[in-house]
Amino acid sequence: MSKKKRMLFMLLGGGMSQGHVAAVLRCSKRDVSAAARVIREERLDAATVEALSDAEAERLINPPKEPKPKDDSYLQPDYDALVERKAKNRKLPVKLMWIEYCEQAAGLEKRAYVYQTFCEYFAEAEEKADARNRFKHAPGEKAFIDWAGDTCTIVDRVTGRRTTCYMLIFCLPFSCLIFAEAFTSLGEPCWLKGHMDAFDYFGGVPQMLVPDNCSTATDRTPAYITLVNGTYERFAEHYDCAVVPARVRKPRDKGLAESTVDLVELWIMAPANEANFHTLDELNEFVLDRVGWLNDRGFSDKDGSRRSKYEGEERECMHALPVSGFETYEPRRAKVSPDYHVRIDYMHYSVPHRLIGETCDIRLYASRVVIAHGGEVVAEHDRLFGRKGQFSTFSEHMPANHREMDSPWSRERFENWADRIGPATGEAVRRMLDAKPIVQQAFVGVRNVLGLSKKHDPAMLERACA
């Protein structure tokens, strides 16, 4: 179904303003207004529109114009030159060019077109030029964003566990400047952090963001309408830019984005997968170094490099960065365990010990974890990645004395309990307690092991520990 036919159905359905229809279909309000006028004048209904072919719907809304004969008594402007002049300076008013044309016509004692006719001919020439120069991009106009199809891997030093990392790639189509960053998730916090890091790298913000139709950028419900994700739209407003998602199943619209992904996969991700990176920071340090190398490398078919073209022609056209960055987070809630830690995604973060047994509100950012209780922030940690079961503990969160005998959770209590079961159990529990840098971090695991003696014969636990 063509865009014009969809436009007619959306207007007949009601509930959407003409401005909303234009935004959803990414078309001019003039076309939507023309479609509404056709519905009124032709008294169209859904059945009639359904019977129309795409070509008939197009002709109804935009009937072909009869070419206007050009009178030789008028001075004919050089529209190709005017269009090229306008392309170099998008802020140049058409009215200024018309005034200059009128002055030229007066000097040659020729008649000049009125402003409206001049604009009509200029628009026709500009439309033809756009068809010829479809993929010519203005400096600072847009950035293409896409996830790479390939992935990278980091390997934990201790366990050897392999964590998959996903590469987010940016390209400024005018200069072809590239930015890339690896993340352990495809989620929204990582998506937005990648944008902020890219803007910092560019030193500015483009006018438009052109992402692929991934779930973190768009909401395709219902299927025939593409809407920008709410958080992503607020992010764009914060950075004073617009989000214009690429059309679905139109690969030629984003050919430069696809070729940039191929370039990053070849020159950055392939070497990264041959190396042995243990942390996300190590991987991204390598990625940033290789991105710089790609941007500084000279073009094969013209003078200069991506960076030189950006610095020389595009940087000044970028919007300035806002004073403060945009932050989004994933809300969580967790109860503080007796070892005064909260568990989030199998990682443990300390809070003041006075909150043991309380439920805390947690904000999970891309790189940090903020824990609040009663509306007050009580702890902030760098986010942990990789091996499950890691601890982030601040000494100021620890109680003054962890070894009080009357405490229901103490080393002595667990050791005495284990010794009553048997010497092998006692030795196993001591090894578990000694394995953690802070003994309280082992309490939950020790309690789970000793708790087996309540569900099963203690002799079975002793034999298992022997």
Of 397, 429, 453, which residue is a domain's last?
Answer: 397
Cα 321 versus chain centre, distance? 17
Domain shared by 269 and 384, yes or no: no
Residue 290 lies in a domain: yes
246 and 161, same domain (yes or no): yes
Summarised one tens digit per residue, pLDDT across range 171-193 is: 999 999 999 999 998 888 888 89
Whether residue 384 contacts residue 344, with contact meaning beta carbons closer than 8 Å, is answered with no
- Shared domain for 179 and 248, answered yes or no, is yes
What pLDDT score was predicted for residue 253? 56
Same-domain status, 85 and 116: yes
What is the structure's pLDDT at 404? 44
pLDDT at 58: 82
Mark which of 266, 285, 317 sits at the end of a domain: 317
Q: Would residue 325 count as lying in a domain?
A: no
The answer on 20 and 128 residing in a single domain is no
CA dist 431 and 439 (Å) reads 11
Task: Evaluate whether residue 373 is within a structural domain.
Answer: yes
Residues 103 and 38 in one domain: no
Residues 304 and 273 in one domain: yes
- 86 and 187 in a common domain: no
Domain count, the chain: 5
- Starting at the edge strand found earlier in the chain, the sheet holding 359-364 runs 330-335, 359-364, 368-373, 376-382
Which tens digits make up the pLDDT trace of 279-306? Answer: 999 999 999 999 999 999 988 877 889 9
The per-residue pLDDT for 159 is: 86
39 and 123 in a single domain? The answer is: no
Distances in Å between the Cα of 444 and the Cα atoms of 50, 157, 440 are 66, 24, 8
Residue 336 lies in a domain: yes
> CATH number of the domain that 189 lies in?
3.30.420.10
pLDDT the model gives residue 74: 87
In a domain, residue 176? The reply is yes
Q: Whole-prediction pTM value? A: 0.46
Find all residues with CB under 8 Å of 344, minimum gap 6, and list them. Answer: 332, 334, 362, 364, 369
- Residue 163 sits in the same domain as residue 310: yes
How far apart are alpha carbons 383 and 392 in whole angstroms? Answer: 9
Ranges of the chain with pLDDT below 70 = 1, 14-15, 65-71, 88, 90, 129-136, 213, 215-228, 247-255, 401-409
Range of the domain at 125: 80-132
Is residue 35, in this structure, part of any structural domain at all? yes
